[in-house]
Chains A and B, each alone.
Chain A
């Protein structure tokens, strides 16, 4: 399992945006163990400057956050860095919200709680998409 991440020739940069700090930190730690270059921020406001400073390949974005919500963050990302792929992750999200996110440019959505394997699969897929975006 551990070498799944290291199999990637390039280390994939992942930013986890979730107001649930315990979740964000644990997920980041596990992704790091799997060989991803994962970081976490715990609010929508922090997310955009963090992305602007150090653009990741893939963002794992919680939909429902206080103040600046996931969909607004998604729109912000897509406005200045359209190549970055966003995976929507939500404990509250109905399918409709997930679909709305995808309509606004998200790569896919996953409902909490979710297996790490599932997230890794989605991140890898999103990264493939990212690479295609870049090469265009």
Chain B
């Protein structure tokens, strides 16, 4: 069955595939680093942005709400004071127009007297008139000649007959000056007929009053009638009697609140522009931005560090794995080469023995017959055969020695002493070649449990090799020391020609030699390698061309199978 994958794992998988396909390891790590960095930043930034966004909008809503509440509160205050003002005017007129004053007020003097008193209290009164039940103005005080004018049929007159007290919208009327009318209707002496007291008030009075209560909380305060006609002038919505159009509802920066004024045809309007609490909002935005940015920087920094550590760790462990693998491959290769070599040696030994014995037999027989002119040539050629056989024998025997699991005979060994003994064999050769051998032996080098003969061979081989590497004129430095709690180390450093890196990989393989043909079997170091391994140690080699080579032999203090 095919395994189902969701889109998320598909994305991850394809990203990983893409990364692993990258040609060079360096690019692979770089790609992986970028992908990880993005993932980590994404993981940390998404919730952070969410929280910041949530906080932003939540606080904005909160501010809007509180602002609106405040404006509403202001509106209520303003509404009350205007209502009080209008109510006062109304009650003054109402008081004057008592039932029993109809006859009195028909007299011009009485009306003039009343008007004068009214004007004392309220400058806004423009005129005053008494209208009889037919709608004819019977008496009038004011700047115009309106006595005898018939108002029947006019809207305000009809309204006043329905309602006892009526306040009109602001209008121009005959005078072409904005004004409004307060009008009180009353019965004439219980006759059922009505008379009306009409007071005209200049619209400027209303304007003055609204300007006075203009509060700090609002940018505009004004009054409109039912039809949206402005009753007072505004700074940005037009003059008195212009038609007010409320601003676009989508415009968040303008807040408008309305409240109907009781007992009047008017509605009070408060407008606040750029209404969000300016300072609070700005400082909140600033703080939010600072917090957000600093978190972002921290996230970036932490992500970067974590990713770097991770990648470094991965790279190191990959490198270690590769090294271990390479080492394992190398020793496997050496082991299989060793097996092959010994197998070949085994097979070659038998035919070699046949050649040797038959050549020997011929020689023996030749010794018994009379000498003739060919004798010396025959002897010479048989000797050459014997020599060749001997050379082969040396090779096969050493090869067999390479793989041989010889019994290790253990004893307590002072490696310093052992190396001195080995140097005793090589002193002369070094001297002939003008090679100076210097030794730095650690005095408290622990004795090790190992095989004397095999160790001798190991050091003999390496030091011999060093002498060959130098040729003539040079220095060999030998240093002993403790490697760790369980191992000692011995360094043999020569000032020879060095080994180039390609050759360095092969130097422990049997038959690998850089010496000229016939001079070396190419077995010395491979045998050395085998011996050191058999003794539980290991051997390292570092080399710089034309500077020299360092062989380091690390041996266990306690031999373990």
B311-350 interface mask toward A, CB cutoff 8 Å, 1 = contact, 0 = none?
0000000000000000000000000000000000010011
Does A92 belong to the interface (CB within 8 Å)?
yes
- CA–CA, A60 and B272, complex, Å: 125
B352 — which chain A residues lie within 8 A by C-beta? Answer: 91, 112-113
Q: Is the CB of A23 within 8 A of B353?
A: yes
Q: Is the CB of A26 within 8 A of B354?
A: yes
Does B306 belong to the interface (CB within 8 Å)?
no
Closest residue of chain B to A89, judged by CB?
B353
A-B CB pair tally, cutoff 8 Å: 65
Does A48 belong to the interface (CB within 8 Å)?
no
A22 — which chain B residues lie within 8 A by C-beta? Answer: 354, 357-358
Asked if A95 meets B404 with Cβ closer than 8 Å, knowing A20-B353, A113-B353, the reply is yes
B-contacting 9-mer, from A7-15, A27-35, A75-83, A101-109: A27-35
Q: Is the CB of B397 within 8 A of A111?
A: yes
B517 — which chain A residues lie within 8 A by C-beta? Answer: none
A114 — which chain B residues lie within 8 A by C-beta? Answer: 353, 356
- CA–CA, A27 and B400, complex, Å: 24
Asked if A91 meets B349 with Cβ closer than 8 Å, knowing A20-B354, A96-B405, the reply is yes
Q: Is the CB of A116 within 8 A of B365?
A: no
- CA–CA, A93 and B224, complex, Å: 125
The bracket for how many chain A residues form the interface is 20 to 34
Q: Is the CB of A26 within 8 A of B397?
A: no
B346 — which chain A residues lie within 8 A by C-beta? Answer: 91-92
Closest residue of chain A to B358, judged by CB?
A26
B350 — which chain A residues lie within 8 A by C-beta? Answer: 20, 23, 91-92, 112
Q: Is the CB of B389 within 8 A of A113?
A: yes
A29 — which chain B residues lie within 8 A by C-beta? Answer: 361, 364
Which A97-136 residues sit within 8 Å CB-CB of chain B? 111-116
- CA–CA, A111 and B365, complex, Å: 25
Does A94 belong to the interface (CB within 8 Å)?
yes
Number of interface residues of B (CB under 8 A): 24
Asked if A116 meets B358 with Cβ closer than 8 Å, knowing A33-B368, A92-B346, the reply is no
Q: Is the CB of A30 within 8 A of B360?
A: yes
Which residues of A does B touch, CB under 8 Å? 2, 20, 22-23, 26-27, 29-30, 33-34, 91-92, 94-96, 111-116
B538 — which chain A residues lie within 8 A by C-beta? Answer: none
B389 — which chain A residues lie within 8 A by C-beta? Answer: 113
A115 — which chain B residues lie within 8 A by C-beta? Answer: 356
Partner of A95, one of B358, B364, B406: B406
Does B393 belong to the interface (CB within 8 Å)?
yes
- CA–CA, A91 and B356, complex, Å: 13
Min CB distance A116 to B, Å, is 5
Q: Is the CB of A116 within 8 A of B349?
A: no
Partner of B361, one of A26, A94, A95, A112: A26
B353 — which chain A residues lie within 8 A by C-beta? Answer: 20, 23, 91, 112-114
Which B350-386 residues sit within 8 Å CB-CB of chain A? 350, 352-358, 360-361, 364-365, 367-368
The 6 lowest CB-CB distance pairs between A and B, nearest first, are: A91-B349, A26-B357, A112-B353, A91-B350, A113-B353, A113-B356
